[in-house]
């Protein structure tokens, strides 16, 4: 896996580069292109996934809105957020999309654990969440009984600290995950994050941790490389 830390880059140019990389590696004669991992942060931007609805963006103001081909709905990217784009040939890696998403989430959970934070999955709502009252506690979340599915995810007492959204084309995945480190969280109040009106967004700073962007990026990079290995 080739790792590139881009630093602060525009979203649209990065999106275009991901598409071009994935198109080129899918071309005849280029099946052995090495996987890549791009680490970066973006200037303020709202991005809409394929399921995105305009009514989930209340007041974009001067923040641009970009339509994308990833899964999911609207989210916000901005300075102080580590964005990771793994560009992975899933067929060569030997796992399907569901397991790939699990591995992305596990890398985020392990990154948080490195800093003493307990991250949680919520059934039906991809991403990673923390308990607002005790983000460092290890008690697991209550889950639905086996075979039952809640009408909608229960975010009571939770804050979302990491998001993910992917696109798979010809067995090759792109887009990726975002970990909130020390952001201006106000833009999240202008949207229904990921389409949920009752979802609070947090970062490491608001739960009491002072972690630099570079340190968080380094740990997330390490955990992604480890968990995306064959």
What is the DSSP code string of 18-84? HHHHHHHHHSTT-TTPPPEEEEEE-SSEEEE-TT--GGGBS--TTS-EEE-SSSS--EEE-TTEEEE
- Please give the helix or strand (H or E) that residue 128 lies within, else none: strand 125-131
Q: Establish whether 194 is a catalytic residue.
A: yes
DSSP state of 147: T
Torsion sign across C-alpha atoms 166, 93, 2, 160: positive
Helix (H, G, I), strand (E, B) or coil at 209: coil
Determine the Cα–Cα distance for residues 75 and 178; give it in Å rounded to an integer. Answer: 10
Classify residue 202 as left (phi > 0), alpha (psi -120 to 50) or beta: beta
Expressed in angstroms, the distance from the first to the final Cα of the chain is 11
Question: What angle, 0 to 180 degrees and rounded to 10, lies between the N-to-C axes of helices 97-114 and 213-227?
Answer: 140
Helix (H, G, I), strand (E, B) or coil at 216: helix
In this structure, are residues 40 and 9 in contact, taking their beta carbons and an 8 Å threshold?
yes
Q: Which candidate in 45, 87, 178, 194 is catalytic?
A: 194
Catalytic positions: 194
């Amino acid at each position: 896996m080739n790792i590139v830390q881009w630093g602060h880059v525009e979203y649209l140019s990065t999106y275009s580069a991901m598409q071009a990389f994935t198109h080129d590696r899918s071309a005849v004669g280029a099946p052995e292109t090495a996987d890549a991992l791009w680490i970066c942060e973006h200037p303020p931007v709202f991005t809409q996934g394929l399921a995105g609805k305009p009514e989930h963006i209340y007041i974009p103001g001067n923040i641009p809105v970009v339509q994308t081909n990833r899964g999911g709905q609207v989210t916000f990217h901005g300075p102080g957020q580590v964005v990771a784009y793994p560009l992975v040939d899933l067929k060569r890696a030997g796992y399907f999309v569901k397991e790939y998403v699990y591995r992305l989430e596990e890398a985020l959970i392990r990154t948080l654990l490195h800093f003493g934070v307990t991250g949680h999955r919520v059934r039906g709502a991809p991403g990673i969440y923390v308990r607002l009252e005790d983000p460092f506690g290890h008690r697991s979340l209550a889950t639905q009984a086996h075979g039952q599915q809640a009408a909608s995810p229960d975010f009571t007492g939770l804050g979302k600290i990491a998001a993910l959204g992917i696109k798979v084309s010809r067995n090759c995945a792109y887009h990726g995950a975002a970990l909130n480190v020390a952001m201006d969280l106000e833009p999240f109040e202008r949207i229904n994050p990921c389409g949920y009106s009752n979802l609070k967004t947090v970062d490491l700073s608001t739960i009491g941790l002072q972690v630099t962007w570079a340190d968080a990026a380094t740990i997330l990079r390490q955990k992604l490389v480890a968990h995306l290995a064959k």
